[in-house]
Amino acid sequence: MNAKPMVLRAACALAVTGMAFTGVAEARITKIEITSRGPAFGGAIFGSVGAYERIVGVASGELNPGSSSNNMIVDIALAPRNARGNVEYKFDFYMLKPLDLSKGNHRVMYEPPNRGGKQFGGFNRSTGGNDPSSTTNPLDQFLAPRGYTMVFSGWDYAAGTNNANFNSTITLPVAKNPDGSSITGPSYEYIVMGNATTTSYTLSYAAASTTDKASAKLTTRKHIDDTPTVIPATGWDYVDATHIKLLPDGTAFNANDIYEFSYTAKDPTVNGIGMAAVRDWNSFLRNAAADDSGTANPLAGDVKYIYTYVLSQPGRLLNDFRYYGFNQDEGGRKVFDGMLQWIAAADGLNLNLRFSQPGRTQRNRQDQLYAEGLFPFAHQSTTDPLTGKTAGRYDRCLATNTCPLGMEIYSANEYWVKAASLFHTDPGGTVDLPDPTYARYYLMASNQHGTGNGTSKGSCQQLGNPLNATPAQRALFVALDEWASQGIPPPPSMIPRFSDNTLVPAMPQSGMGFPVIPGVQYTGLKSTRYLLNYGPDFDKGVMSINPPVTTTPFFDNPANGKIYPSFVPRTDADGNDIAGVKLPDLLVPTATYTGWSLRASANGGPDGCEGSGQMIPFPATKAARLASGDPRLSVEERYPTFSQYLYARMNAINGLVEKRLLLDEDGFNEFTRGLQAVTSSGLVPKAD
């Protein structure tokens, strides 16, 4: 047999797999192992789409560490390599797809899970959980009746290695020195216990030595602006390489106190590979016919569009994903057509660094000092007045025409605890940035970070904020698809701006508009976005200062670095945000809703209450308002009859539908839900 037919057969084999790679070096998914496949949703039939199936498995991939598509991943050059010179990894995946793909809509909703867990349930009308196919009420969901394939895959090492109950994990290589010895370096733990019974703490990385306590330091304080007190070496010890404890044995960490532990760690995982895993998995699903061994891609030939839905942490992952250029695969193709980001705003993720901890999220008294709120903040290219750098998150994809459309939706909480105004102002905080052609921005007015419990206070001073933004997210997801697939522009951005005086400083209280409500404390507390000094090797992904700032009082302390000015939404006389997308409960209010909250004194107050907001009901009657001195009109003064309340709510819902901010199918649900909630509260008469 001559060589020519063999070469032709090899070329044909590569074409069949859909992997037009050069040699063996290109990044790709090399193997998929399907561990479970069967009917989804109890065999329910979704109209013309038909039945769905669930596919669960493990995918393996490899990366060429020298490729320009991968060499920005910190420590990838120090990861072990296989015989082909590539770096290997593997992750869990979970998929829900139409049994007959020809009956679906040829679109994928992809969610990179939040700390391993699927978060799309509320968006999908409560058909979620880590095994959403097992739901007992599938027919009310949002995605399946429309023919979407739903895909999830692991990317976050901090999610752990236990994939029980369909948790999505990833297995990553450990970086080593060229001689094979362990890499060591500074690591840092911000520790707040939620109870007074915990006696040990698990470190994110193993300590390089459990006997060298002189190079480690443990401090404690009660409030964020207290001076940390050093706990002497006689007051703590290593349990083992991955745990510390207080001494004497059995001493519990004080609930809600802030502890910080600095130590020398060893064996960093190459966490930035998580971004490449997301890129290559979605590229495989869209473009490949099979893996290297011939196992068929379950979506081969079907995928026309891929949109993301994310909630919080993975949105910050995708902010960095765009910044590093991962929306272009190694074949030069676009990965995601559109991204719907919920409560991610302007921050990145503590991921592409040595000894990084992607599970962390910095708020006003939570997870301080981790590198996530870094320039560039905006998608557009801007110049940082503090460093002189010029950059934007979309710079790389704009240069290669591989940018996803961005549907950026976030709550008021992100302005208070994440400096979200930097998403759409210049870094100096002086002017509004114009909307880019490829992104729209929507503040969900007066929302907290997610949906709170309006019947309990938790650690906070007031009731949680129950505003639920998922109906608006569904409408904007439909708009995102119409934008990407048909070129129909989405609703215009709805955010606070300097130009109309709806974006203002948090203090003074009178300037931002929040009323003086009896029994409600207002301090103007918001997170400060510092330019922190992480050391001379930080641009290489290595933090060399530990801890990276002084141990002087932290809150609003210029000693910690220069500050990027940030601002908050201005409120009306009721204390509700003026700008943004207003849900029916806000357009026809019976309470004040805020994106910020303060801790109760017993829980470390008045420090900030992290991602929580507040619901502060209006007085029920004029007499109650006058007796308490509340400046807000009572419910009976706003809605003298029940019919007037219903008419106002109906008009509010119709207006949102007309603006494409609410779907018709959600309009009725919003009307009846509000009706039930308000009548059961007794705040308005049950009849005229």
Do the domain assignments include residue 635? Answer: no
Question: Is 593:444 a contact under the CB 8 Å cutoff?
Answer: no
Mean pLDDT of 212-232: 93
Question: How does pLDDT run across 324-378, given as a tens digit for each residue?
Answer: 999 999 999 999 999 999 999 999 999 999 999 999 999 988 998 899 999 999 9
How do residues 46-90 score in pLDDT, each as one tens digit? Answer: 999 999 999 999 999 999 999 999 999 999 999 999 999 999 999
Residues 414 and 280 in one domain: no
Are 310 and 296 in a shared domain?
Answer: no
pLDDT of residue 490: 98
Residue 561 banded pLDDT, cuts 50, 70, 90: confident
Both 397 and 309 in a single domain?
A: yes
pLDDT at position 685 is 59
Q: pLDDT, tens digit, for every residue of 239-278? A: 999 999 999 999 999 999 999 999 999 999 999 999 999 9
Q: Are 184 and 141 in contact (CB under 8 A)?
A: no
- With a pLDDT cut of 70, the percent of the chain lying above it is 92
169 in the same domain as 229: no
pLDDT at 364: 86
Q: Are residues 247 and 286 in the same domain?
A: no
**For residues 650 and 587, what is the distance between their CA atoms, to the nearest angstrom?**
10
Sign of the C-alpha dihedral, residues 55, 341, 67, 355? negative
* Residue 432 scores a pLDDT above 50: yes
* Same domain (yes/no): 295, 308: no
Q: State how far the alpha carbon of 497 is from the alpha carbons of 205, 420, 424, in Å.
A: 42, 12, 8
Give the structural domain span for 261: 184-266
Residues 373 and 434 in one domain: yes
What local confidence, expressed as pLDDT, does residue 136 receive?
79
Give pLDDT, residue 684: 63
Q: Is the pLDDT of residue 551 over 60?
A: no
What's the pLDDT score for residue 3? 37
Which of 610, 628, 646 terminates a domain? The answer is 628
Q: For the residues 632-636, what does the mean pLDDT come to?
A: 95
Q: Quick check: 375 and 389 in contact, CB under 8 A?
A: yes
Sign of CA dihedral 482, 484, 489, 490: positive
**Hey, which residues does 432 pair with through a beta bridge?**
425
Instruction: List the beta bridge partners of residue 62.
Output: 28, 88
* Statement to judge: residues 164 and 313 lie in one domain: no
Same domain for 213 and 97? no
Distance, first Cα to last Cα, the chain: 93
Q: Does residue 687 form part of some domain?
A: no
Report whether 232 contacts 137 (CB < 8 A).
no
Q: Is a pLDDT exceeding 70 seen at residue 515?
A: yes
What pLDDT does residue 687 have? 59
Task: Cite the beta strand spans of 279-395 per DSSP E.
Answer: 305-311, 338-342, 382-383, 390-391
**pLDDT tens-place string over residues 466-514:** 999 999 999 999 999 999 999 999 999 999 999 999 999 999 999 999 9
Question: pLDDT grade, residue 556 (50/70/90)?
Answer: very low
628, 649, 671: which is the final residue of a domain?
Answer: 628
- The structural domain count of the chain equals 3
Q: Do 404 and 448 reside in the same domain of the chain?
A: yes
Tokens of 333: 């193709």
- Cα distance between residue 436 and residue 295, in whole Å: 42
Going by the DSSP 8-state scheme, the letter that residue 337 receives in this structure is S
pLDDT tens track for 583-615: 999 999 999 999 999 999 999 999 999 999 999
Between CA 549 and CA 477 the distance in angstroms is: 41
Categorize the per-residue pLDDT at 26 as very low, low, confident or very high, splitting at 50, 70 and 90.
confident
The last residue of a domain, from among 281, 302, 323: 302
Percent of the chain with pLDDT over 90: 84
**Is 131 inside a domain boundary?**
yes
246 and 359 inside one domain: no
Residue 555 has pLDDT above 70, yes or no: no
Considering the domain architecture, whether residues 344 and 454 belong to the same structural domain is answered as yes
Would you say residue 673 lies in a domain?
Answer: no
Please report which confidence band the pLDDT of residue 552 belongs to, taking 50, 70 and 90 as the band edges. Answer: very low
Domain assignment present for residue 339? The answer is yes
User: Is 678 part of a structural domain of the chain?
Assistant: no
Query: So what's the pLDDT on residue 683?
Result: 64
The answer to whether residue 578 is domain-embedded is: yes
Domain membership of residue 549 (yes or no) is no
Residue 156 or 11, more confident: 156
